[in-house]
Structure 1
C-alpha cells in the first residue's frame, strides 16, 4: 500500500484553484489505487507555528537533556516529520503569493527540515556538510499564479520563487522525483486562463500514471534486494 501526504497551503477555502487541483488529484489517484492511504494536512486553514529562538534551542539540545517544555515545543515538528517519513508520495497544492510560497508553507518547511531528523551535519564532508536522511519519495507540486510565464524560458522565469524554492528543498523532503502542474493567468481570467486550467486537469492522470509506474519499479527493486540479502 502506498501512503500519500497531501499538504493544502491556500488561504482560500472556497474558489481555490490549488485546492481544486488537490481534490482532483486525490480522486483520480483513488480511482486507480482505492486502497492507498492519504494523510491530509490543511496548513492554509491551520498554519504551523513559526520557529522561535526557544524552538531552535530545543532542536540543538540533545534529546536526553531536553526539558518537558522543550519536548512540548517540538511535538508538532515531531508529528509533521513522522507524517513526512511515512509518505511515499508528497502532494503540495499551493498558490504563489508575491512570487513565492505562502507563509504557512514556509512554516511547515521550517518545522520539518530539522537537524538529526531530516538531515545530518558533518564538517568532515567539507564544503557540503548537510546530508538528507530521507529518500525515494515522489513530490507533486500543484501550483497556481496570477500572472504567467513562470516556467523555463518564460517571461517571468526569474521571478518564480515558488517552484524553484520547493525543488531546492525537495531533497530534504526525501524527494528524488518531482512533478509540477501549474495554472497561470488567474488575474487575467481570459481564454488563456481557461486553457491553462484545462491543461492542468489533463496533466493529472499522466502524472499519476508516471508515479505509479515508478513506485511499482521501486517495489520490484526492493523485493529483489530483499531476496538477494536472504540468499
Structure 2
C-alpha cells in the first residue's frame, strides 16, 4: 500500500477542465491522482487544499514553541503547534507528495509557503544541535519519498536553460526546503502560455498532462507487489 499526500495551492477553487477560468495546477494534480487510482485504487490519498484553507502563518509564538524542547513546553505552546503537528504527520505518512503549485509573481502562492513553513520543523523534520561537529543541522525525513510539483505559468520559457528560467522560483522554492529535511527525489512539469489563451496554451496543457501520465507510470513499479 502507498500513501499519497495531494496538495492544491491555487487560489482558484475550480479546475480548468471543469470550470471557466479554473486552475491548471489543480487540473494536473487531479489528473495524477485519477491516473494513479486507476492502477492502485486501494492506496491512501490524503488531500490538503491550502489554496482555499491556508495554514496559519508562522508567528513569534510558533517559533518560541517549536524551539522549546517538547518536555518543557507549556500548554499554549502545544496549542500553537497543533496545526503544524497535523501537517507534519500527513507529510511523514506519505510516500509521494504531489502538489499543484501555480506561479504567482515568479514564486509559489503565499498559501503554499505557509505550508512549507509549518512542515520544516526543528526536532520533527530536521535536527539542530550547536554542539554537533560540522554543520549543526541534519535532515530527519529519511524514508524514500518523492515530491512532485505540478505548476502553471502565464508566460513561457521558465524551464531550465530557457528564456526566463532565472525568474522561476517555484520549483526551487518548494524543492529546496524539502531537500533540507530529507526529501531529495523531485519531479515536475508545468502548463505555460496561460495568458495567451490560444493554441499554444492548449498544446502546453496537453503536453503537461502527458507528462503527468508518464510520471505516474515511472513511479508505479516502486509499489508493485
Offset from partner CA, 1:82-106 (integer Å, 9 cap, x none) = 0000000001101100000100100
Q: Is the 8 A contact 2:5 2:97 kept in 1?
A: yes
Alignment partners' CA distance in 2, 1:213 and 1:174? 22
For 1:212, what is the secondary structure of its paired residue? helix
Task: Report Cα offsets for 1:4-40 as digits up to 9, x if no partner.
Answer: 0011000001211111111111111000111100000
Give the TM-score normalised by structure 1. 0.90
Residues 22-64 of structure 1, C-alpha deviations (whole Å, 9 max, x = no match): 1111111000111100000100000000111111001111111
1:190 to 166, 190, 198: 198
> More deviation in 200-209 or 31-40?
200-209
1:50 paired to 2:57: yes
After superposition, the Cα gap between the structure-2 partners of 1:88 and 1:174, relative to the gap in structure 1 and judged at 3 Å, is farther
Q: Distance in 1 between matches of 2:181 and 2:192?
A: 26
Q: Would you say the 8 A contact 2:156–2:193 is kept in 1?
A: yes
CA contact (8 A) 1:84 1:173 kept: no
- The correspondence for 1:158, drawn from 159, 166, 188, is 166
Q: Which residue of 2 aligns with 1:121?
A: 128
Q: Structure 1: how far apart are the matches of 2:67 and 2:30?
A: 38
| Residue equivalent to 2:88 | 81
TM-score by length of 2: 0.92
Q: Does 1:205 align with 2:205?
A: no
Alpha-carbon distance between aligned partners in 2 of 1:60 and 1:176, rounded to the nearest angstrom = 25
Structure 1 residue runs of 4+, over 3 Å off?
none
Matched residue of 2:184: which SS? strand
Give the match's secondary structure for 1:4: strand
Matches within 5 A, 1:173-188: 174-188=182-196
**1:173 positional shift:** 5.2
Unpaired runs of 5+ residues, structure 2, are 15-21
In 1, the alpha carbon distance for the partners of 2:102 and 2:145 equals 22
CA distance in 2, matches of 1:19, 1:134: 26
Is the 1:139–1:175 contact (alpha carbons within 8 Å) kept by the matching residues of 2? yes
Q: Secondary structure at the match of 1:74?
A: helix
Cross-structure match for 1:6: 6
How far, CA to CA, are the matches of 1:156 and 1:51 in structure 2?
Answer: 31
Count of equivalent residues: 216
Question: Aligned equivalents of 1:170 and 1:185: distance in 2?
Answer: 28
Residues 124-139 of structure 1 aligned to structure 2 (within 5 Å): 124-126=132-134, 128-135=135-142, 136-139=144-147
